[in-house]
C-alpha cells in the first residue's frame, strides 16, 4: 500500500475533501449564523465602515490581552497615515498565573496601563477571549479559555470595567472599543496597506484557527444595531462541522474535553495536527506501511517542520531505514496539504462573500505561528486558494506585517471618531 492509498483509505487525504460540497456547507452555516439560527456564531463586531478614509490623528492607549502575554502601548497615525507604536511594555496576562478576583483582574489591567493614562482618553482593547459584543462596541465576557482563572470576570462588561478601573486611578472618563485578535489582524492589514483591495480577511492559523471578514449589514439579519453599510464579522469558523472527518481526526477529536465542538479547528489547527500525524504513523505501523523497526512516540509540529526541512531529529530517529523515513515524510506532507486545503476552502468562501470589485484582489491578512512556520502549509494554502478563486474571477494577495494586533487595535479606535483632547 502506498502512502497516498493509505491516507485515502482512512479518509485523510486532501482528495477526500470535496471543495464544492464543503463550500456549500460553509455558506449555509454562514447564512444560518448571520440569522442567529445556529451554524457558525458569525458574531457582529459593531465596527462598521472602518477603512483608511476614517483615519484621524490623536494618540490612543492600546491593550492586547493574549493567551500568555499582556501588552500595552501608545499608538497614533501621523498626518500622512503612517503608524506609530510607542511606549510598548509586555507583562503577564492577568489570571494566567493563578486565580484572580474580578476587582483584582481589572485593577491589574489599570496598573499595567497607568503610565499611559495621561496621554489619551481613548482606549483600544484587543481581548482575545470569547465576548458577546454589543452595539456600543463593548461586550460581556464569556467563560475564559487558555487557562485564565478569573471566574468572577465572566459576565462582566470588559470595556466598562476597564474604563472604571482606569478612572479610579486618575478620575478621568474614557472611551473604549473592544475587539478580538482576528478582527485586529484584519484591521492591522488594512492600516498597513499601501494599495487598494476589494475586501479584507483576517486569518488566524496558529494553536487554533478563525477568520474575520467584512459583510453587508443588510445580511446580518439577527441584528446589528442601527449600523448600515459594511461591518466586520468574527466568524468563529473553528466551529464549522461540515468537513468530512477521517479516522485519525476521529481518534484525536474523541480524546478532547468536548468532542462535539470546534471540529474544523480540531482537524487542522496547530494544537491538534501533530496528534493526527502521530495517529497516522501508529496506524501505518499496524498496517504494514512501514517495513522496518519503528519506535513511534509523540512529537510536535516543530519536529515535523524540522524533519520536512531535512534535519535529523525526533521523527528521523523513530524509523530504522530511509524508505520508512520517506513514507513518514509523505504522511506529514499529505496531512499538511489536507489542512491547507480546508483552510483555503474557508478563506475562499469568505473572500467570495467579501469581494466588491473583481478588478482588485482580496487581501488575506494571515497571522499565526502555524501559518508562518509549518513547512509546506503556505505553499499548499496559496495554491488551493488560487485554484478555487480563479473559477470566480477573483484574485488574492497574502498580506502580513509587524505588530498587526496593536496596529489593528489602533485602527478600531477610528470607529469612535476623533480623540477628545
**202 phi/psi in degrees, rounded to 5:** -105, 115
CA distance 66 to 112: 14
Q: What is the mean pLDDT of the chain?
A: 94
Mean pLDDT of 242-260: 95
74's grid cell = 501608545
Mean pLDDT of 111-130: 95
> How deeply is 217 buried, as exposed, middle or buried, from its count of CB atoms within 10 A (0-12, 13-18, 19+)?
buried
Mean pLDDT of 321-330: 96
Q: Determine the straight-line distance between the first and last CA of the chain, rounded to whole angstroms.
A: 71
Cα-to-chain-centroid distance, residue 160: 25
3-39+199-393 to CATH, choices 3.40.367.20, 3.30.230.70, 3.10.50.40, 1.20.1250.20:
3.40.367.20
- Is residue 322's pLDDT more than 80? yes
pLDDT at 54: 87
pLDDT at 164: 98
Are 3-39+199-393 and 47-193+403-416 equal in CATH topology? no
Residue 302 DSSP one-character state: H
The pLDDT-based confidence of 310 (bands split at 50, 70, 90) is very high
CA 106 vs CA 15, 214, 322: distances in Å: 49, 31, 56
Over residues 75-99, the pLDDT tens digits come to 999 998 899 999 999 999 999 888 9
Over residues 107-118, the pLDDT tens digits come to 999 999 999 999
The pLDDT-based confidence of 420 (bands split at 50, 70, 90) is very low
pLDDT at 143: 84
| Low-confidence winner among 220-234, 296-310, 388-402 (lowest mean pLDDT) | 220-234
Mean pLDDT of 222-238: 85
The pLDDT-based confidence of 419 (bands split at 50, 70, 90) is low
47-193+403-416 to CATH, choices 3.20.20.30, 3.40.640.10, 2.70.98.40, 3.30.420.40:
3.30.420.40
Going from N- to C-terminal start, the domains of the chain cover 3-39+199-393, 47-193+403-416
| Low-confidence winner among 81-95, 139-153, 198-212 (lowest mean pLDDT) | 139-153
Q: Please give the share of the chain, as a percent, with pLDDT higher than 90.
A: 86
C-alpha angle with apex 366: 275 to 371, nearest 5 degrees? 25
Over residues 169-187, the pLDDT tens digits come to 999 999 999 999 999 999 9
> How deeply is 367 buried, as exposed, middle or buried, from its count of CB atoms within 10 A (0-12, 13-18, 19+)?
buried
pLDDT at 421: 46
pLDDT at 194: 83
CA 78 vs CA 53, 122, 189, 260, 389: distances in Å: 14, 17, 17, 48, 36
Q: Please give the share of the chain, as a percent, with pLDDT higher than 70.
A: 97
pLDDT at 140: 93
Mean pLDDT of 115-142: 93
Mean pLDDT of 154-171: 97
Amino acid at each position: 500500500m502506498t502512502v497516498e492509498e493509505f491516507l485515502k483509505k482512512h479518509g485523510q487525504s486532501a482528495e477526500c475533501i470535496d471543495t464544492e460540497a464543503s463550500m456549500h456547507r460553509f455558506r449555509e452555516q454562514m447564512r444560518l449564523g448571520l440569522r442567529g439560527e445556529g451554524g457558525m456564531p458569525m458574531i457582529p463586531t459593531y465596527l462598521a465602515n472602518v477603512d483608511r478614509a476614517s483615519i484621524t490623528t490623536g494618540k490612543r492607549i492600546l491593550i492586547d490581552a493574549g493567551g500568555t502575554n499582556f501588552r500595552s502601548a501608545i499608538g497614533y497615525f501621523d498626518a500622512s497615515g503612517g503608524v506609530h507604536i510607542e511606549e510598548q511594555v509586555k507583562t503577564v496576562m492577568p489570571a494566567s498565573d493563578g486565580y484572580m478576583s474580578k476587582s483584582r483582574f481589572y485593577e491589574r489591567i489599570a496598573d499595567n496601563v497607568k503610565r499611559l493614562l495621561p496621554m489619551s482618553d481613548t482606549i483600544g482593547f484587543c481581548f482575545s477571549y470569547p465576548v458577546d459584543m454589543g452595539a456600543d462596541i463593548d461586550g460581556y465576557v464569556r467563560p475564559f479559555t487558555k487557562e485564565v482563572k478569573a471566574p468572577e470576570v465572566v459576565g462582566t462588561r470588559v470595556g466598562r470595567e476597564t474604563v472604571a478601573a482606569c478612572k479610579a486611578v486618575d478620575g478621568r472618563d474614557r472611551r473604549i472599543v473592544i475587539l478580538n485578535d482576528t478582527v485586529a489582524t484584519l484591521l492591522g492589514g488594512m492600516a498597513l496597506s499601501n494599495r487598494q483591495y476589494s475586501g479584507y480577511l483576517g486569518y488566524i492559523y496558529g494553536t487554533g484557527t478563525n477568520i474575520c471578514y467584512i459583510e453587508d449589514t443588510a445580511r446580518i439579519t439577527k441584528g446589528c444595531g442601527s449600523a448600515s453599510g459594511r461591518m466586520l464579522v468574527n466568524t468563529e469558523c473553528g466551529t464549522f462541522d461540515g468537513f468530512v472527518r477521517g479516522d485519525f481526526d476521529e481518534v484525536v477529536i474523541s480524546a478532547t474535553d468536548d468532542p462535539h465542538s470546534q471540529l474544523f479547528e480540531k482537524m487542522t489547527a496547530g494544537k491538534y495536527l501533530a496528534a493526527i500525524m502521530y495517529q497516522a504513523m501508529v496506524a501505518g505501523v499496524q498496517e504494514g506501511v512501514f517495513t522496518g523497526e519503528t519506535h513511534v512516540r509523540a512529537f510536535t509540529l516543530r519536529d515535523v517542520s524540522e524533519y520536512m526541512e531535512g534535519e535529523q531529529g525526533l521523527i528521523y530517529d523513530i524509523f530504522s531505514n530511509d524508505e520508512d523515513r520517506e513514507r513518514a515524510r509523505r504522511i506529514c506532507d499529505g496531512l499538511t496539504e489536507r489542512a491547507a486545503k480546508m483552510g483555503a476552502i474557508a478563506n475562499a468562501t469568505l473572500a467570495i462573500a467579501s469581494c466588491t470589485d473583481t478588478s482588485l484582489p482580496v487581501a488575506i491578512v494571515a497571522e499565526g505561528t502555524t501559518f508562518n512556520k509549518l513547512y509546506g502549509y503556505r505553499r499548499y494554502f496559496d495554491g488551493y486558494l488560487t485554484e478555487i478563486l480563479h473559477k470566480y474571477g477573483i484574485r488574492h494577495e497574502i498580506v502580513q506585517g509587524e505588530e498587526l494586533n496593536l496596529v489593528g487595535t489602533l485602527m478600531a479606535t477610528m470607529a469612535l471618531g476623533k480623540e477628545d483632547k
